[in-house]
Structure 1
Amino acid sequence: MILASSSPRRRELLQQIGVRFEVDAADIDETPLAGEAAVAYVERMALEKARTVAARHPDEVVLGSDTSVIFQNAILGKPENDADAVSTLKKLSGATHQVLSAVALVSGKQSRVLSVATQVRFRELSDDEIRRYVATGEPADKAGSYGIQGMGAILVAAIEGSYSSVVGLPLTETAALLNEFEVPVWQAGC
């Protein structure tokens, strides 16, 4: 199997469930289309990533994935800079947002895509906490400007849904898709 992502988090999650894979990251335009709903966006991104890499590996099963943070119907991508990260975290402070993760598998002419929504509630954050967290550098490459699997875990008061989806890959749903495509999970030595 080929993982169409350079995300270290997705690599770790696949290894966690014993999937053997190689990495060949897709380089695509990730700009949302005008008026595109968040679910349609993450599913389109996951499928485009998988199809782009599948064109280079026509005999392999290719997994593409995308994760977005949604707040007040707006997609919050990766921050452009520290000031953008601070602004995003101030919006999320004390509020609930949604994390959408899509996973797509492509093999030959066969493809499947699905998405998982998880509700995440942040505790109230002080301006000083936000500044100190941004100064760690962790928010720089994370949708929504935080990483629940890292130091950002202390920002989160509660989640309703899939923890692994918030990290970047919904494992239960991914394993089910892999089984459909006859890609083994739970392999030793991964």
Structure 2
Amino acid sequence: MGSTPVVRGSTIVLGSASPARLRVLRDAGLDPQVLVADLDEDAIIAEMGDASPSDVVTRLASAKGEAIVSTILTGGDPAFDAARADGVVLTCDSMLLLAGELSGKPHSSDVAVAQWARMRGNTGDLMTGHCVTRLRDGAVETVVADHKSTQIHFSDVSDDQIARYVATGEPLKVAGAFTLDGLGGWLLDGITGDPSSVIGISLPLTRQLLSQVGVDVTDLWQ
């Protein structure tokens, strides 16, 4: 498919409340508007039953995209002109796969401590589902979705280091209870794969998905 230039003034929407995702995109030349979807992610996961981890994260990213697009096209947000909506909506969802079990944000200190007790000295896969929706003239033109998986090698940290890290509050708010670009980076031995995906949104995969919907990412650079 040949690329269709995104004209100046087109909407670029990041459907995520993650400041890390927004920072990655801004550092990479995009200046998206942010619109957050209100989803019952646990219900979606339950409905998927025995689906593979890659299917779960991809479905969650797609569900966010559907919710964001619905808000835009039904006039649910005054910042957007539903009748003239044109551009792309980017949505993601990340979870950590460790020993066959998916985990998202721990939300509580007890859960974060228990998760780190399982992660330390081990290797997990940070899996991020991505969805790109192309809007043109107030309608959905194309939707594509995929996932990116990156290996995380966790340091064999002590109980005290885990307690100190959890006490900062940082791991409670992020998928897998760790960051690469924050305090959690001190507690990792390394990664195998795409660093931007670990932070929250894979630039290589997003570029590929944009190309599939006919958008050259360089047309989105500010």
| 1:42 correspondence with 2:53 | no
Partner of 1:116: 148
TM-score (norm 2): 0.80
How far apart are residue 83 of structure 1 and its match?
1.1
How far does the alpha carbon of each residue in 1:18-37 deviate from its partner, in whole angstroms, 9 at most, with x for none?
Answer: 12321111111111132222
Q: Percent identity?
A: 30
The one of 23, 29, 35 aligned to 2:40 = 29
Determine which structure has more spread, i.e. the larger CA radius of gyration. 2
Alignment partner of 1:56: what SS?
helix
Deviation at 1:113, TM superposition (A): 0.4
* Matching residue within 114, 118, 124 for 1:97: 124
Q: Is the 8 A contact 2:14 2:34 kept in 1?
A: yes
Structure 1 stretches of 4+ with a deviation exceeding 3 A read: 183-186
Give the 5 Å matches for 1:74-89: 74-89=101-116
Q: Structure 1 CA distance, aligned partners of 2:133 and 2:216?
A: 12
CA distance in 2, matches of 1:171, 1:46: 15
Indicate the SS of the match to 1:64: strand
Give the alignment partner of residue 167 of structure 1, picking from 188, 199, 208. Answer: 199
Match of 2:210 in 1: 178
Which of 53, 64, 68 is residue 68 of structure 2 equivalent to? 53
Deviates more, 1:93-102 or 1:28-37: 28-37
Report the TM-score when normalising by structure 1: 0.93
SS at structure 2 position matched to 1:149:
coil
* Root mean square deviation, CA, Å: 1.5
Unaligned runs of 5+ in 1: none
Q: Structure 2 unaligned runs (5+)?
A: 1-11, 74-84, 135-139
Counterpart of 1:62 in structure 2 is: 89
Pair 1:187-2:198 in alignment: no
Rounded to whole Å, the distance in 2 between the matches of 1:130 and 1:147 is 13
Q: Which amino acid aligns with 2:68?
A: V
* Superposed displacement of residue 12, structure 1: 0.6
2:154 corresponds to 1:127:
no
Give 1:97's aligned amino acid.
Answer: G
Q: Deviations over 1:27-73 (max 9, x none)?
A: 11111132222111100011111111112224242111111111111
Provide the rounded CA distance (Å) in 1 between the counterparts of 2:199 and 2:35. Answer: 20
One-letter code of the match for 2:35? D
Q: Which of residues 11, 14, 21 is equivalent to 2:22?
A: 11
For 2:72, what is the secondary structure of its paired residue? coil
Distance 1:69 1:184 in 2: 28
> How many positions carry a matched residue from both structures?
188
